């Protein structure tokens, strides 16, 4: 174990030094104020890093679990040490107006305490910021937030097919709105973009699932195929190779069971032309969303879709996932109507979830047009 002491005028600066010299896994052992002159104090932080090599992992399914646990532990460790080391600063933050008000408002919107703390503390570090001015603090907070979250518009530039049609799958837990979102997107691509597209359903598990999608395909006059296994899926893709895009509906399962993720991997293989939309319901609990995304990492998801925005007042869980994970958000489902209730995820819309000025945080955004889809995507 290597132990080192750092001094800086401010706790954040001291923590930066710790991170720079000892790395993100360093643990804070102690922290105190030291007087460097009769009028000035510095912060002294003692930190340690365990230099042991990580234990090599075994080749079975426990590997993933170990990685998850190690990741969780690292996160808890770093947050704990940050909290301990910056206790004074934290108390200060909570007792200072308007910071305290903003801090608590963000927590009540469901934003994770750690994220709020990190973003707000970075926001107040903005040069020349007057932290007694709520507008300035909020602007700086929004700036920090938007710096971290990613958005993507996967249909903006569809890659040329070169014999392999680009396929976009909708994967995710049961009942989150995969089929409905696929139908909304299909309508948008066909009607607004004039693209030639086909639909494949690999959801042969649930009674009625194929018929639900076939009905949408018929209404939109789109070619529709059903695939029961990998061979049939490959064949279906081949039949659609002349099209611009193929949308693929999948079976909703409890994907906290690793075998179900493995089944998806087996079905889609390692095709580079497949874009996986992970569809999540914004009504799910923050921790369940986090666990679902963790489990889906194995299939190389490219972007997230959050549905049922209209069914909850608390949208912090959406933002939490975008801050935690590197995946961008693409779409928001704002109701049951096909195709109207779909919006493209935009910075304004995300901010409105946390800082609503009118009723726009709930259901349809005031930033959207009445047709729902606000921008090309």
User: What does the binding site for ligand GDP look like in residue numbers (CB under 6 A)?
Assistant: 174-180, 252, 307-308, 310-311, 333-336, 341
Among residues 77 and 206, whose Cβ is nearest to ligand GDP? 206
CB contact at 8 A, 346 and 151 = yes
Among residues 116 and 279, whose Cβ is nearest to ligand GDP? 279
Q: Pick from Mg ion, ligand GDP, none: which does 177 bind, CB < 5 to 8 A by kind?
A: ligand GDP
Q: How many CB atoms are closer than 10 A to CB 85?
A: 24
Among residues 213 and 225, whose Cβ is nearest to ligand GDP? 213
Query: How many residues of this chain bind Mg ion (CB under 5 A)?
Result: 2
Among residues 136 and 204, whose Cβ is nearest to Mg ion? 204
DSSP string, 269-320: TT-TTEEEEEEEETTS-HHHHHHHHHHHGGGT--EEEEE-GGG-S--HHHHH
CA distance 341 to 363: 9
Piece of the chain touching Mg ion by CB under 5 A; list 34-42, 135-143, 148-156, 170-178 = 170-178
Tell me the angle at which helices 99-108 and 134-148 cross, rounded to the nearest 10 degrees.
Answer: 50
Q: Pick from Mg ion, ligand GDP, none: which does 311 bind, CB < 5 to 8 A by kind?
A: ligand GDP
CB contact at 8 A, 187 and 220 = yes
Q: Pick from Mg ion, ligand GDP, none: which does 282 bind, CB < 5 to 8 A by kind?
A: none
Q: Pick from Mg ion, ligand GDP, none: which does 307 bind, CB < 5 to 8 A by kind?
A: ligand GDP
Q: Is 180 in the site for Mg ion (CB under 5 A)?
A: no
CB contact at 8 A, 45 and 6 = yes
CB of 178 to Mg ion, least distance (A): 5
DSSP 8: E
CB of 254 to Mg ion, least distance (A): 14
DSSP collapsed to 3 states, 97-162 = CCHHHHHHHHHHCCCCHHHHHHHHHHHHCCCCCCCCCHHHHHHHHHHHHHHHCCECCCCCCCCCCC
CB of 109 to ligand GDP, least distance (A): 19
| Residue 284 Cα distances to 68, 163, 214, 258, 263, angstroms | 20, 39, 28, 19, 24
Among residues 154 and 172, whose Cβ is nearest to ligand GDP? 172
Q: Pick from Mg ion, ligand GDP, none: which does 349 bind, CB < 5 to 8 A by kind?
A: none
CA quadruple 86, 82, 96, 148: dihedral positive or negative?
A: positive
CA distance 169 to 163: 18
The size of the chain, in residues, is 377
DSSP 13: H
| Residue 90 Cα distances to 98, 123, 281, angstroms | 14, 14, 32
Among residues 189 and 338, whose Cβ is nearest to ligand GDP? 338
DSSP 179: H
Q: Which of 329, 319, 351 is nearest to 152 (CA)?
A: 329
Among residues 180 and 320, whose Cβ is nearest to ligand GDP? 180
Among residues 176 and 197, whose Cβ is nearest to Mg ion? 176
Q: Judged by CB under 5 A, which of 179, 321, 330, 361 binds Mg ion?
A: 179
CB of 179 to Mg ion, least distance (A): 3
Q: Pick from Mg ion, ligand GDP, none: which does 24 bind, CB < 5 to 8 A by kind?
A: none
CB of 308 to Mg ion, least distance (A): 14
CB of 341 to ligand GDP, least distance (A): 6
Piece of the chain touching Mg ion by CB under 5 A; list 27-35, 136-144, 178-186, 318-326 = 178-186
Among residues 295 and 308, whose Cβ is nearest to ligand GDP? 308
Q: Is 169 in the site for Mg ion (CB under 5 A)?
A: no
Q: Which residues bind Mg ion (CB under 5 A)?
A: 178-179
């Amino acid at each position: 174990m290597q132990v080192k002491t750092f001094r800086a005028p401010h706790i954040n600066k001291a923590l930066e030094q710790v991170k720079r010299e000892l790395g993100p896994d360093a643990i804070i052992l102690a922290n105190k104020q030291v007087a460097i002159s009769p009028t000035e104090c510095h912060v002294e932080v003692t930190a340690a890093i365990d230099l042991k090599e990580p234990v090599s992992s075994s080749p079975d399914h426990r590997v993933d679990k170990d990685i998850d646990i190690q990741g969780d532990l690292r996160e808890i460790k770093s947050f704990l040490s940050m909290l301990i080391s910056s206790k004074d600063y934290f108390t200060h933050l909570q007792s200072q107006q308007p910071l305290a008000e903003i801090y608590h408002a963000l927590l009540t919107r469901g934003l994770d305490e750690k994220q709020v703390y990190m973003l707000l503390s970075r926001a107040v570090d903005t040069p020349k910021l007057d932290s007694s001015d709520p507008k300035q603090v909020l602007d700086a907070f929004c700036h920090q937030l938007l710096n971290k979250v990613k958005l993507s518009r996967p249909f903006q530039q569809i890659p040329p097919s070169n014999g392999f049609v680009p396929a976009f799958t909708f994967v995710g837990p049961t009942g989150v709105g995969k089929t409905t979102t696929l139908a909304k997107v299909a309508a948008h691509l066909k009607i607004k973009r004039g693209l030639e597209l086909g639909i494949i359903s690999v959801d042969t598990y649930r009674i009625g699932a194929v018929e639900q999608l076939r009905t949408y395909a018929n209404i939109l006059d789109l070619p529709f195929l059903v695939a029961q296994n990998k061979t049939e899926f490959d064949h279906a893709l081949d039949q659609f190779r002349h099209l611009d895009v193929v949308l693929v509906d999948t079976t909703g399962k409890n994907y906290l069971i690793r075998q179900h993720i493995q089944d998806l991997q087996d079905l889609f293989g390692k095709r580079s032309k497949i874009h996986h939309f992970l569809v999540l319901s914004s009504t799910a609990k923050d921790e369940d969303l986090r666990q679902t995304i963790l489990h889906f990492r194995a299939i190389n998801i490219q972007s997230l879709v959050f549905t049922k925005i209209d069914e909850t007042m608390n949208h912090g869980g959406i933002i939490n996932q975008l801050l935690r994970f590197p995946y961008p958000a693409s779409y928001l489902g704002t109701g049951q109507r096909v195709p109207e209730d779909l919006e493209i995820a935009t910075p304004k819309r995300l901010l409105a979830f946390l800082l609503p000025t009118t009723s726009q945080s709930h259901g349809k955004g005031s930033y959207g047009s009445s047709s729902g889809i606000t921008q090309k995507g």
